[in-house]
Amino acid sequence: MYGHLDKQPHFSGWKEGLSATDPKIINERLYGRGCSDDGYCLYSCILSIKTIQELGMKHEKVIIVIEGDEESGSGHIDAYLHHFN
């Protein structure tokens, strides 16, 4: 399984009065850059495996690769995949 894990960096100028770590509800919508980025992939991978096991289903060995570099254009991911293959 593959996942990408990162959060938007702190910076000013995104939208007046909003920040990466201070979510706000405006017009019934949640705003907060950190909440909308890829921080859930590891939990999704683990929960999917746990669900399969709880349903009594069998599965092969699962390898989870979580990339922390910037998006899937990482210059390092291929080397890691070949190393652990």
How many Cα atoms within 13 Å fall on the side-chain side of residue 65?
16
Neighbours of 82 (CB within 10 A): 8
DSSP state of 2: E
Q: Residue 72 above 60 pLDDT?
A: no
DSSP state of 1: -
Whole-angstrom distance, CA of residue 43 vs CA of residue 76: 23
For position 54, what pLDDT does the model report? 98
Number of domains observed in the structure of the chain: 1
Q: What domain range includes position 9?
A: 2-84
Q: Higher pLDDT residue, 48 or 4? A: 48
Highest mean pLDDT of the ranges 49-53, 72-76, 78-82:
49-53
Predicted confidence band of residue 9 (pLDDT cuts 50, 70, 90): low
